[in-house]
Amino acid sequence: MNALTTLGLLSPEILLLITALAVLTLDLIWHGERRTGWLPYLAVAGTLAAIVATLAIYGRGESILGEMMAADDFALFFKLVALSATALVILGARQHIAARARREGEFYFLLLSATLASMLATAATDLISLYLAFEFLSLASYVLVSYLRGDDFSVEGGIKYFLYGAVASAIMLYGMTLLYGATGTTTLRGIAEGLNRSAGPLASLAIPISIMLLAGFAFKIAIAPFHQWAPDAYEGAPTPVTAYLSVASKMTGFAVLLRVMVVGMGDFQPTWARVLGAFAIVSMVLGNLVALQQPNIKRMLAYSSIAHAGYIMVGFVTHGLDPVGFTGLNGVLFYAMVYVFTNVGLFLGIIAFENATDSTKIADFAGLFRRSPVLAISMCYFLFSLTGIPFTGGMFAKIFVFGPAMQAGPFGLLLAGIGVVTSVVGAYYYLNVVRTMFFVAGDASAPAVPVGRLVQIGLVAAAVVTLAIGVFPQPLVDLASRSAVVLGMLP
Amino acid sequence: MEDVVGSVPLTWYLVVAAALFCIGLYGVLTRRNAVSILMGVELILNAANINLVAFWRHVGPEQLDGVVFALIVITVAACEAAVGLALIIGVFRSRRSVDLSDIDLLQG
Amino acid sequence: MLNLVWLVPALPLAAFAAISVVLWRDRRAATWAAWLAIGASWLIAWAIFAGTWGQPQLATEPVRVGILTLPTGAEFLRLGFMVDPLTGIMLFMVPFLCLLIFVYSRGYMDGDPRYSRYFAYVSLFATGMLGLVVSDNLLFLYVFWEIMGLCSYLLISFWFEKESAYRAGLKAFLTTRVGDALLLLGLLLLYSRTGTLTFSEIFQADVLSRLADTVVSLPLLGTVPVAVLASLLIFGGAVGKSAQFPLHVWLPDAMEGPTPVSALIHAATMVSAGVYLVARMFPLYAAAGPGNGAMTTVAAIGAFTALFSATIAVAQNDVKRVLAFSTISQLGYMMAGLGIGAFVAGVFHLVTHAFFKALLFLGSGSVIVGSHHEQDMMKLGGLRTRMPVTFWSFLAGTLALAGVFPFAGFWSKDEILAEASHGGHMLVYVVLTLAALLTAFYMGRQVCLTFLGQPRSHEAEHAHEVTPFMYVPVAILAFMATFLGLMGVPADFPILGKLLGENPFHHYIGEMLTLTGAHPEAHGVNWPVMLISLVLALLGLFLGWLVYGRRPLEAGQPDPLRRVLGSLYPVLENRYYVDEFYQATVLRAVHWLSATFTAIDSRWVIDPFVNAVGRSFGRLASRSSSFDGRFVDGAVHATARLADAAGRALRPVQTGKVQDYLLVVATTVLLLLGVFIIL
């Protein structure tokens, strides 16, 4: 492999890095609203360029940088997920951040850095690169959460997120060192061989060690019982950051979890599948029940995202229970992509509302339909998709994780059953927002909610994609299946 | 010197590291001051470093991955401390306190 | 031609999209879009129906049109649409009724501020119903089922400024969701046992016998064949949708919606989707042999509901509520018919009932519009001369529903009764016959109170005939209600049987029974049964006239039945207090829980967690007791409240202190480590 090929396979990351640095530099030298107004366009353009580059190298599938990274379709799929999320979040962030913080250029820089870290993490095939990318992502996220330095909630959310994350990743690191000691190598492929070779005492260590690793991954995913940072950080963070954390950061956690567990711990799948299955059950039940009680929509969506992490985990557990084929895995990938567009779409609506009213209380959404029918209807559509109502991507996503689970023996059936029942509970709190917007009379004299042009673009894009997937899921199904099959075929 | 290091069994290093890990975790859970918690985290990271270097010495000294990992961990720990202290200062500015039991505006 | 079946649901969907995105500003354009789409659907549907007529092999080898191929599990799920005789007969009925009611709506909704939105909703509803009947698999069926549920909710609470309308919509949505959850479970069970959701694959003889032979053991019920369990769960969905006891409480309230909606959704089509579902899954019900638990349950619930709601209908005074309970009762008839194995008779009644009940509802809508929105029968009267077209059409519908020769209801109702008597289901027969008598009585009562005598209010005094948009569809339906039954006249009925081609309906639908392994055979005319039911129908109508028609009521005079029935009358009037019963049980359960937790609270004060749980239940109890009496909704809310309480109890775990969170992390990790190291 020559250097040029490596550069080609890294082109999405390089493009994103250049964009991030350009944004940072221009933010320093440009002054005045007229010029800095171009920064979000630049950031989005860079992200779109990275998406194009990612699509261009799809299907190449090679290991690069001395087995440190893999540019396989699996990683590329999750890069698409992260990049799409970033593009949408930047569209929503402009007005929100400009009104609340002194500099906005830094914000885009941090966001792009976090995405860069996500992309590296999804591709990492070695403990060292994995840890590095993971910490890079975490550090950028901590700063993003507490970006509004004058806001008590933002700062508090940031410090809690930081302390929780630092401890979780420290435990994960400790587990990684033990894994290195047990197998003498840091590459995932080598670890799998090492664990396989010595069936004796090492094999019995593998599961405890993997549990320490799980602390780090589960923290990123925000799956119960490693979820408790999420409601506080989500509520405190600036809303665009909340949107970002709930999709990009979460899905990166899933990508890493999938790769480490399938490639590195493949021989112990049935065992950890049960542990993860238990996490999924706790998440689905707890997330949905507590979400019922939340008066603040950001916090409600935090719990909802915990529940969705549970649903997605069901797909992965199915694969663990029955590793023949990649049936549960493609469900995870499909769900990840759908969730990005649905959830960020909803958050864009919330951002628009918050920009106008400075409130995120569900009760304040009363009468929104009267004030801004288009905004209310689009939010309603995203809520339907989260509920899993037909003609939304969300319905197919649920089918693809619960469907395979039903065929994976009694445990799978149990997971699917709990998933279905808890999603019915979920319908109550999603539809409650719809009810508030449409049927509860609000302040009749309140003016229409102005929606900025960038947010409009984002809303339309998210709605179109969610609808397209809901009506014609086949292309995404194929892409997800193709990308899932690749996992495990590379060193 | 070489002999001294080599003659200490691997287990000893691991026990020290495990003890350090536990002390760090204990500190994280019991200390109320945010800075002390940060120090607890650093202890856990150092426990990991001891593990890494000890394993490297005993498992595969011909490759450099263990020490490289340790160096990277040290670097990351420094970054983490920098970000962490900045956040703690931010909290102190708004609350005039870094006592974590007071920082519970967000709950439920 | 049959391959175009996908167009049938697609056209109204296009109309829905066009109206809601582009055309909503322009009422005329919205009306025409909806009309054209449903009209085209209707033409295609009747062409398809004509193409399937006389093609018995379609029953076992339906035409299938693939739409989606999804990789789930180890296999591929092929989903699409299909045409077989059962689909064909539904395609005969549904689009035609939709078209008539769309036309009628033009008159009824005239001047409503949300006129365009109404047409968007009903178009979407048409998509749901038409999609449902052409689906070749349970997944699509479920999807369209839910679309209908959504539309029903939106249309019931269409005038959401009215508190009662909004509440009724919510009640319908939540109540039917109970059934939907059961249906989904049934669907999952079938999928997990067969790996497919396509009807033709489930109805393979070997698959069915495997389902009938494998048993699962359940608490309380003991061992049950999978086929029976799945059938029962699916029936749960049908009970919700078709408003059968005990989930019937939503349908009477659903009359808060616009009357054409009541006619279309809550009388003719959507509520019969439950019956359609049972008919569609009939081979599964029959798989475990005749008289199995599933069939018996269907028959018992159906027959009970038929009688139960017929008695309630006797004591209702709202024009539409009488018809609502009548609908529940007639749906019970169909269920009972299917439950005793009278597949053809059940489907036949489904079709005829759709026509004459739509007629009755549209007629009542005309009455409401004509008499300036007066719905209380005690305040109507004397409309015969003021609204002649409506009166004669309504009368045709009444005779059809009561089962008078030769109107449509006579043939279909009689066929169910004959099958019940023939198959030895005497209890079902007696119950249904009693219900038939009551049906004739309350319809006689309704006609006398509404149309005969003198007006009992100012509104009725000044009633006027409605616009042609409204009375033309009604008249067409009256024609259908009179003559439609003739397609199912028993072959050996004197003169008519031979003349009409020896029961063509039975030849058409009966082939579906070959899927169950049985041979479709039509029984001859059962003269005693037929005469008894005819006599009872006439007797019922006569009694109705005797009480209400001979000496018309004066304004303000109480219902004479109140004196006759004594203390029974309030019970019927209040619908056997079922709503109140749900209310009482739900509240009691919550109170009991709160008391229990408060007791725990007082004993374990030290533990803050338990404390929090106790407190929150205490709060819940105080809130719920203040709601007492006002909060009318049923058992559905129990689940909601329990989930609510659980969520509330879990919230204090999130203390807001990051070290508590870390403690949870450390505990989890150590616990799992411990578990795996020890094991």
Domain ranges of chain B: 9-95
Residue C566 φ/ψ region, left for φ over 0, alpha for ψ in the -120 to 50 degree band, beta for the rest: left
Taking residues B71-81, report their average pLDDT.
Answer: 94
**C189: nearest CA partner in chain A:** A406
Query: CA-to-CA distance for A206 and C113, rounded, in angstroms?
Result: 68
At C614 the pLDDT is: 42
- State whether residue C82 is helix, strand or coil: strand
Of B29, B37, B101, which is closest to C666 when you measure between CB atoms?
B29
CA distance C78 to chain A (A): 12
Contacts of A148 in chain B (CB under 8 A): none
Task: Map tokens 């990275």 to a residue.
Answer: A50
What ipTM was predicted for this assembly?
0.94
At A81 the pLDDT is: 96
Contacts of A395 in chain C (CB under 8 A): 143
CA distance A161 to chain C (A): 8
**B104: nearest CA partner in chain A:** A156
Please give the backbone phi and psi of residue C66, each rounded to the nearest 5 degrees, phi first: -75, 145
User: What are the residue ranges in chain C where pLDDT is below 70?
Assistant: 1, 67-77, 219-221, 519-523, 583-641, 678-679
At C75 the pLDDT is: 60
Tokens of C205: 């003889």
Domain that holds residue A169: 3-487
Quote the number of domains for chain A. Answer: 1
Helices marked H in A101-200: 105-123, 127-145, 152-183, 188-197
Residues 6+ apart with CB under 8 A from C527: none
Tokens of A336: 């990840």
Of A163, A403, A438, which is closest to C72 when you measure between CB atoms?
A403
Which of B36-40, B47-51, C339-343 shows the lowest per-residue confidence on average (mean pLDDT)? C339-343
At A126 the pLDDT is: 92
* Strand C222-225 versus strand C215-218 pairing type: antiparallel
Tokens of A3: 């250097």
At A232 the pLDDT is: 92
* Closest CA relative to residue B80, chosen from A273, A373, A173: A173
Are A174 and B66 within 8 A, CB to CB?
Answer: no
Q: In chain B, positions 40-59, which contact chain C (CB-CB < 8 Å)?
A: none
**CATH T-level fold of B9-95:** Helix Hairpins (1.10.287)
The rounded mean pLDDT for chain B is: 87
Q: How far is CA C540 from CA C302, C453, C551, in A?
A: 22, 19, 17
Contacts of C651 in chain B (CB under 8 A): 108
Residue C372 φ/ψ region, left for φ over 0, alpha for ψ in the -120 to 50 degree band, beta for the rest: left
Contacts of C615 in chain B (CB under 8 A): none
* Strand A63-64 versus strand A69-70 pairing type: antiparallel
At C588 the pLDDT is: 61
Question: Which amino acid makes up residue C8?
Answer: V
Any CB–CB contact under 8 A between A215 and chain B? Answer: no
Any CB–CB contact under 8 A between A474 and chain C? Answer: yes
CA distance A169 to chain C (A): 12
Contacts of A424 in chain C (CB under 8 A): 177, 181
CA distance B105 to chain A (A): 7
Neighboring chains of C (3 or more beta-carbon pairs < 8 A): A, B
**C653: nearest CA partner in chain A:** A228
Any CB–CB contact under 8 A between B60 and chain A? Answer: yes
Any CB–CB contact under 8 A between B22 and chain A? Answer: no
Of A208, A225, A406, which is closest to C668 when you measure between CB atoms?
A225
At A237 the pLDDT is: 94
Query: CA-to-CA distance for A395 and A332, rounded, in angstroms?
Result: 13
Query: CA-to-CA distance for C109 and C64, rounded, in angstroms?
Result: 38
Q: Helix A393-406 to helix C163-194 angle, to the nearest 10 degrees?
A: 40
Test the C interface: residue of A292, A389, A396, A402 with most C CBs within 10 Å: A292
Tell me the per-residue pLDDT of C404-429, one tens digit each, with 9 for 90 and over. Answer: 888 888 888 888 888 888 888 888 89
At C631 the pLDDT is: 37
Contacts of B14 in chain A (CB under 8 A): 181
User: What are the residue ranges in chain A where pLDDT is below 50?
Assistant: 490-491
Q: Are A117 and A20 in contact (CB under 8 A)?
A: no
Q: In chain A, positions 356-395, which contact chain C (CB-CB < 8 Å)?
A: 389-391, 395
Contacts of C181 in chain A (CB under 8 A): 420-421, 424
At C605 the pLDDT is: 36
